[in-house]
Structure 1
């Protein structure tokens, strides 16, 4: 297959070239050469990476969770437990593909419970392969603090008895022992890993994982090289918990147990300190920023400009909460660069370096091959944008990268190629009928939630959780 385009952003520097033929051989780029091109204007550039997501089937806003802080939003996500593992994963993966993503992190925090963990992972991997995206799958685990960052009893004690039983039954569940979790991850890896699917350890976050669990993961990651994906300091309440629990520093603790390494990816880091970011940079670990999610969950605006300046590897994730709840990675990258890029006359070339870096570091965090650059021999992961639509006024010649950062959205994505396979053509995902999948999910959720006892329990739980965080956690 040969892609002939009027414009392309090539190499690690995203250098603009006009009139280009990109010849593919199997899953790789065989050659790139000048070519006389007529017809519609198309811009070829490296396909994107969604470096932190949970493959949520539908927006949690539709389940009544709009603008809740994470601490009450997250329990509400139980209402969106997948009714079908394949369908629930395929829909968000297809949305990511439609926006130009070649690679997606699935930090799998909400299993359906209808299958064994290994069989559920097989269904998610089948969905990724059908859609055609590269996927890193990290089965999430928690073994402490299921309701709040502390003992559940004070919160449960405030609930009416029937609501107390409902919440305890849903959230007070036994977790596997550390050795059993490590063994499970490796069993899942043996079952689903392949050329486009990899498996990582997925501790949910330090506040949700016991020290023996984190230490077991650190030890096995060091021994095998398997990557680790986890949340860190997403909210101010997590910051308060971390300061009380680890007076010598939460990132210091991660370093001491060997978890802080180039194998580690940390989502959010909104409330990280300068000293913590220096340690993250020194270790070669990666931070994934989730700008829209942090806004929607009222978590804050993270110090990403500072993290980049300190030398941290930074990439971008949608976290299932892109700004318009449409899983648009292009808009998300633009928001991150606009909010965290240079001001005034400083460094006008930052946008080009930023885009190359978040693609390269995103791929690295997912274990995807190459840095995304379009060069001979590289994986054929390419997105084609409709440059006629992007350059809608066509008055003067404008750098396509300027057009992309000024107004690019997923509606400008025409084709997406991953490992040499076209997975989106003319803006339509080929491996899944996305509209039909989302309609089926909506129907299943409407039926499943009729009479759901959790719905009655939320008001009393929200009041109890609010009191716990404002009166006990040291934040208000």
Structure 2
């Protein structure tokens, strides 16, 4: 059956069409017709947004991780271990959908440990299916530097005996051999990959992965075409480590081993230099900026406008740390656009251009089909914005995209359709009861917290030792 969505304004990805009707059937757009007045208030239809880098985790502030740099923030991350993988993923995915996204990357950095990892991946894919959102899934892997960017022995020796044991139990674990990781990703792919799920390799970051692991992933990615998703140069300490470890250039190394390619997505790149951005652009790799996360973790602003000027493909991610920790991907997109749009009369992009590139590059990074344009034959992935709420004053005609980038947030999202399925209706996810799932998840986290009493007791000493290590070893 053909379904129709009416819009006062419809942004195709290139053009703004007034009084439009978007017809779709079996998950595919059939036509966009003009001269069709909206029937129920004023509406703006845009391509569904993409959260191109996330970890499907709850707010870390609730675990006492506010106002910390990444390197000590991560030491508290054990408190956020999902007690129920399905619930944690469903809540995060549904919040993201509610904010206007049709696709989300889950770079899975902290498995629950309650079940085999392939089964855990199945639970996350089931959550995505229930919510109705497209899923990119990359199992994060690391085989070195579990506590600091170097030998952890000195840090462990600085800890009192009662603190050292719980730290070793939680953070010092045998590394997975590269071949075993590659096989595991292929097994996950066989279990969950499909039209709505893209499985990728997920090296956590160069500082956390040995050359043998990175080279094995690069070789397998080249052979199979499977995409790779990883962090890069997120913090000043990672920048310092990279300069010491790769005096000839870290990006040059990634290029030499074949990892830097059009199949690679790089989250953050906060401290990438101009010559490194040129290499990224030349390779056709994608940069995902995570503006609010960078602010929360004191990582820096990132050279996003410069990357764009140099030809890098830019996408936007929430990274589980939106400005208000509410997974508001619409607000996140606005923040990136406003922060990096330029000063005075000079602009780096129009708002229409930025929306289009964020969707197009986000879909490429997550393996979603097509560039996200709302045209005949494309996937029926679109978001309906309440233009009456957005244009609350209605004094004079204003470009709806200007209104969107000035005021848009989750509260303005009315409906979201993905592959023809309505996954958000009147601002509420249709596939799960979000408030009930959030309440259940909070209860499980509270019940689970006593498991980490030893870590809570050890954290003051661990954080102090880590701070001393990074300040003395990683700063110029």
TM-score interval for Structure 1 and Structure 2 normalised by the shorter chain: over 0.9
State the Cα distance separating 1:447 from its structure 2 match.
1.4
- Map 1:75-474 → 2, pairs under 5 A: 75-347=75-347, 350-450=350-450, 452-474=453-475
Residues 174-212 of structure 1: per-residue CA shift (max 9 Å, x gap): 121001100110010000001100100000000000000
State the Cα distance separating 1:358 from its structure 2 match.
0.6
State the Cα distance separating 1:36 from its structure 2 match.
3.4
Do 1:270 and 1:300's aligned partners in 2 also have CA atoms closer than 8 Å?
yes
Tell me, in whole angstroms, the C-alpha distance in 1 between the residues paired with 2:55 and 2:67: 18
Tell me, in whole angstroms, the C-alpha distance in 2 between the residues paired with 1:255 and 1:189: 26
Residues 330-366 of structure 1: per-residue CA shift (max 9 Å, x gap): 1101100111113222248621101100100000000
SS of match in other structure, 1:299: coil
SS of match in other structure, 1:213: helix
State the Cα distance separating 1:436 from its structure 2 match.
1.1
Do 2:204 and 2:231's aligned partners in 1 also have CA atoms closer than 8 Å?
yes
2:38 counterpart residue number: 37
Tell me, in whole angstroms, the C-alpha distance in 2 between the residues paired with 1:184 and 1:175: 14
Do 2:8 and 2:37's aligned partners in 1 also have CA atoms closer than 8 Å?
no
Q: 252-261 or 149-158: which moved more? A: 149-158
Residues 418-443 of structure 1: per-residue CA shift (max 9 Å, x gap): 00000000000111111111111111
2:11 counterpart residue number: 10
Tell me, in whole angstroms, the C-alpha distance in 1 between the residues paired with 2:155 and 2:346: 50
Do 2:48 and 2:381's aligned partners in 1 also have CA atoms closer than 8 Å?
yes
SS of match in other structure, 1:86: helix
Tell me, in whole angstroms, the C-alpha distance in 2 between the residues paired with 1:97 and 1:175: 35
Tell me, in whole angstroms, the C-alpha distance in 1 between the residues paired with 2:60 and 2:355: 29
State the Cα distance separating 1:5 from its structure 2 match.
2.1
Do 2:55 and 2:320's aligned partners in 1 also have CA atoms closer than 8 Å?
yes
Do 1:363 and 1:372's aligned partners in 2 also have CA atoms closer than 8 Å?
yes
State the Cα distance separating 1:373 from its structure 2 match.
0.8
Tell me, in whole angstroms, the C-alpha distance in 1 between the residues paired with 2:40 and 2:441: 40
Tell me, in whole angstroms, the C-alpha distance in 2 between the residues paired with 1:161 and 1:39: 67
Residues 285-314 of structure 1: per-residue CA shift (max 9 Å, x gap): 000000000000000110001000001000
Residues 32-53 of structure 1: per-residue CA shift (max 9 Å, x gap): 1122333311111100000000
State the Cα distance separating 1:3 from its structure 2 match.
2.9
The answer for unaligned runs of 5 or more in structure 2 is: none
The answer for unaligned runs of 5 or more in structure 1 is: none
State the Cα distance separating 1:82 from its structure 2 match.
0.7
Tell me, in whole angstroms, the C-alpha distance in 1 between the residues paired with 2:296 and 2:331: 15
Do 1:98 and 1:410's aligned partners in 2 also have CA atoms closer than 8 Å?
yes
Number of aligned residue pairs: give it. 473
Do 1:97 and 1:416's aligned partners in 2 also have CA atoms closer than 8 Å?
yes
Do 2:13 and 2:46's aligned partners in 1 also have CA atoms closer than 8 Å?
no
Tell me, in whole angstroms, the C-alpha distance in 2 between the residues paired with 1:399 and 1:210: 50
Distance 1:241 1:104, change over 3 A: same
Distance 1:74 1:12, change over 3 A: same
State the Cα distance separating 1:9 from its structure 2 match.
3.0
Task: Indicate the RMSD between aligned Cα atoms, in angstroms.
Answer: 1.1
SS of match in other structure, 1:94: helix
Do 1:7 and 1:16's aligned partners in 2 also have CA atoms closer than 8 Å?
no
Do 1:2 and 1:21's aligned partners in 2 also have CA atoms closer than 8 Å?
no
Tell me, in whole angstroms, the C-alpha distance in 1 between the residues paired with 2:105 and 2:281: 21
Tell me, in whole angstroms, the C-alpha distance in 2 between the residues paired with 1:67 and 1:348: 31
